[in-house]
């Protein structure tokens, strides 16, 4: 009887694993996972079910294959960092709200004009000493890994999360934004996510860059014209 129950539990677990969540199907080379807000990477094995707050990382020669909800397969090439929480589709409304919060401090309560803003913290502090150690910027290598993860999202059709992730990465690794392809990816992701107005803004901003080659300029211009035509402007 116990054996039957054990078999049923294993089969059930397999079904669950197959039907829901993201499962690591194949691993090759250096592949790690980081759970939640932990700071350390740990080894991961084939068959492990990833949690929504996990982050995957492949090393220089690492490869991984993920299976999403028992169907869609996502290949992680080498040198990729991707958040499992980004492997999902956001609705257009959710994406728009997220973008709005990117632009304005929408998450904060805006005090009404007729309400007194009680200044509870009035103390002004000046620099009281000379700092001893200057900070160094984030390692661009890690930023590149994260950007590669963004491209994985885009290539697998997760346009909303790839657009948001790309903006987040560029915010933390500004030098990556100097590459035309990277900025183009944001515009394309927004366009693919059917946020044409936002995409148009990105293309227009990109077109104003002085560093574009003629070919890049033509590409952006054609997209701007196309989107304006669609918008009836």
Partner 1 sequence: MVRILGYILILGVSVVELKTYSQSLFSSRAMGIGAYAPLVNDTRSFTENPAGIVHIRDWDLSIGTYIPAIRGSQGFVFQGVGLGKKILDDLAVAIQYSQGSAMEFGLPIAFSLEAVPVSVGKRINYDEPFAAAIGYRLSNRVSVGLSGRITRQKITDVQYQYDTLSLRFRQLPDNVSEVNVTSIDVGVQWKPFDVLSLSVVRRGLARFENGSFPDDLESYKLSNRRFLDLGASVRLRTNITMSAQYSTAQTGSLGVEWLSGNDFALRTGVYMNNDGSPFVSAVGAGVGWGYKFFSVDIAYLKFTSQKDRQGTSLVEQFDPSSITSIDLNRYTSDRVQFSLKVVFGNVRTSLVTIGGVEILEGVYPSAYEAFATRPIGRVRVKNISDQPIDVRARFYVEKYMDSPTESQPVYMLPGEEKELPLTAIFNEKVKGVEQMMVREGNVYVSATPAEEYDDKYAARVVIHGKHDWDGSVYSLRYFVTPEDPSILRYTRDVLLQHKDSLGNVSAGLEDFQKARVLFNAFAGKLVYVSDPKQSADYVQYPSETLQLQGGDCDDMTTCFSSLLNSVGISTAFVDVVPPEDSSKSHVYLLFDTGLDPRFGNSISPNAKRYITRKNQKGIETIWIPIETTVMTRGFEAAWSQGAQEYFDDVEIGLGLIKGWVKIVDVY
Closer Cβ to partner 1, 61 or 172, answer by number: 172
> What does the alpha-carbon distance between residue 181 and residue 189 come to, in Å, rounded to a whole number?
12
Min CB(25)–partner 1 separation in Å? 23
Q: Binder to partner 1 among 125, 211, 229, 233 (CB under 8 A)?
A: 125
Q: Which two tokens stand for residue 38?
A: 């932990």
Q: Does 145 bind partner 1 (CB under 8 A)?
A: no
| Sheet strands side by side (includes 72-76) | 49-50, 22-28, 63-68, 72-76
Residues in contact with 75: Cβ distance below 8 Å, sequence separation at least 6, in sequence order: 63, 64, 65, 66, 152
Give the DSSP H or E segment for 28.
Answer: strand 22-28
Q: What is the dihedral of CA 152, 158, 163, 169, to 10 degrees?
A: -40
Closer Cβ to partner 1, 139 or 209, answer by number: 139
Of 127-135, 149-157, 187-195, 198-206, the segment contacting partner 1 by CB under 8 A is 127-135
Q: Does 120 bind partner 1 (CB under 8 A)?
A: yes
For 204, the 3-state DSSP assignment is helix
First to last CA, the chain: 72
Length of the chain, please?
Answer: 233
Closer Cβ to partner 1, 33 or 220, answer by number: 33
Q: Does 10 bind partner 1 (CB under 8 A)?
A: no
Q: Does 144 bind partner 1 (CB under 8 A)?
A: no
Q: Does 49 bind partner 1 (CB under 8 A)?
A: no
Min CB(225)–partner 1 separation in Å? 32
Q: Binder to partner 1 among 14, 28, 53, 72 (CB under 8 A)?
A: 53
Burial of 5 (0-12, 13-18, 19+ CB in 10 A): exposed
Closer Cβ to partner 1, 9 or 38, answer by number: 38
Our measurement of the distance from residue 174's CA atom to the centroid of its chain's CA atoms, rounded to an integer in Å, reads 15
Pattern 160-189, partner 1, x by CB under 8 A: --------x--xxxx---------------
Residues that bind partner 1 in the complex, under the rule CB under 8 A: 34, 36-39, 52-53, 55, 83, 85, 90, 94, 97-98, 101, 104-105, 107-109, 112, 114-125, 129, 131-139, 142, 168, 171-174
């Amino acid at each position: 009887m116990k054996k039957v129950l054990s078999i049923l539990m294993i089969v059930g677990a397999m079904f669950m694993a197959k039907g829901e969540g993201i499962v690591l199907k194949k691993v090759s080379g250096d592949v790690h996972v980081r759970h939640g807000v932990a700071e350390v990477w740990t080894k991961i094995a084939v068959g492990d079910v990833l949690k929504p707050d996990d982050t995957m990382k492949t090393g220089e020669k690492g490869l991984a294959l993920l299976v999403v909800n028992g169907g869609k397969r996502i290949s992680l090439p080498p040198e990729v960092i991707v958040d499992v929480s980004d492997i999902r589709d956001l609705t257009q409304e959710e994406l728009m709200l997220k973008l709005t919060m990117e632009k304005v401090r929408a998450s904060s309560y805006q005090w009404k004009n007729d309400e007194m803003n009680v200044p509870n913290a009035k103390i002004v502090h000046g620099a009281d000493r000379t700092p001893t150690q200057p900070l160094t910027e984030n390692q661009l290598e890690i930023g590149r890994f994260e950007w590669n993860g963004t491209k994985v999202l885009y290539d697998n059709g997760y346009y909303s999360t790839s657009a948001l992730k790309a903006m987040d990465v560029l915010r933390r690794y500004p030098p990556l934004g100097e590459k035309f392809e990277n900025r183009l990816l944001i515009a394309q992701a927004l366009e693919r996510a059917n946020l044409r107005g936002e995409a148009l803004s990105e293309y227009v901003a990109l077109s104003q860059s002085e560093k574009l080659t003629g070919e890049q300029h033509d590409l952006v211009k054609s997209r701007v014209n196309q989107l304006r035509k669609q918008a009836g402007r």
